[in-house]
Chain A
C-alpha cells in the first residue's frame, strides 16, 4: 500500500496484520486483521445482501440475522482509525526515508469515503420496518 525507498520495501494492509503474527502477539494481529480487513468486508457484504433483498422485495429467512450481524459488527470496523494511523506512521517515517504512496492508499481512501456515505444514508429503523413487512408477507405465503 505504501512503498518506501531507502533500500526498498513495500507493504499492504494484509502484510501489516501478518507482520504482527510472527511474534507471540497473535491476538493483536488477529485484532488488526479483524478491524481493518475482515469486519469491513463482512459489513459490505451484509449491506449488499440486505439492501439488495429489500430493493427487490425478496424475503430471505436470514434477513433479520444479517441485519442483526451488521448492527453488532458496525463499530468493529475501524477503517477511519486505520487511515489516521497510516498518516501518523507516514509522518513518523518521513524524515528518515522517502515515502511513495501506492494505488492501494487511493483505493483505501475511496473505500472509506463510500463507507461513510453508506452509513450516513443508512436508516436502520426503516430497514427493520421493511424487513418486518417482508417477513410478514413471507409467512403468509410459505
Chain B
C-alpha cells in the first residue's frame, strides 16, 4: 500500500476516504502526469519516475495565453498568403488555404474538400478559440460545466495533430509534381511556414494548459 502512495505511509488514507468532492491537492497529494504515481505535495521530483511533477503546471495560464496569442497572429498570414504555387505550362497559379479547398470543390471532390477544410481551417480556429475559452474559464473560475470543458480539452489534445495534414500534403505534392521543362511544378508558399507555426504553437499551448485548473475553482465551493 505504501508503494502506491509514493513511499509515504498512508496516514491520510482516512482523510482521502471521508469527503467526496475534494481534489488531491486539497488533501496534500499530487498525481504524476507521466507515471500516474501519487506523491506528497512537498516532493520536487516524482518518487516513481524521477521526472518533474509540480502539483499544477508552472505558469500554465501565462504560457498558454502567450502561445495562443502567437497562434492568432500567425493565423492571419497563414490564411492570406499563398500556401501553394502551381506552375503548369508556364502559367503560375497561387493558391491560398481556402483557394486550395475551393479548387477541390470545383473538381467535384466534395468529401476531400470537406476533409481538408475541417483539418486545416476549422480545427486550428476551433483550437485557438477553444483554448482561449479554457484559459478564460480557468482564469476567472466560471462555474459549472467543468466536465464539459474537460471534454473540450481532451478533444483539442486529440485533434491537434491532424492539422498537419495540409503541410504533409504540400510536401508530397512539391516532391512528386516536378516534371522538367516547366510543364508542371508545385512550390510551397510562405503561408506554409505560418500555418506550420500555428499548428505547432497550438499543440504546445494545449500541452502547457493544465486541465486541473478547470476543476480547482469548482471544488473550492
Q: Which residues of A contact B (CB under 8 A)?
A: 2, 4, 6-7, 9-12, 15-20, 23-25, 27-29, 31-32, 35-36, 64, 67-68, 71, 75, 78, 81-82, 84-86, 88-89, 91-93, 95, 124-125, 128-129, 131-132
Contact = CB atoms under 8 A, between A and B. Distances in A.
Main secondary structure of the interface of B (DSSP, over half): helix
B188 A28 contact: yes
Contacts, number: 132
Contact of A19 (B50, B171, B184, B190): B171
Interface stretch (B8-16, B68-76, B173-181, B210-218): B173-181
B58 interface: no
B174 A128 contact: no
Nearest to B4: A129
B24 interface: no
Interface residues of B, number: 46
Interface string B1-39: 000000000000000000000000000000000111100
B43 to A, nearest CB: 15
B115 interface: yes
B192 to A, nearest CB: 5
A19 B175 contact: yes
Given A9-B178, A95-B107, A16 B171 contact: yes
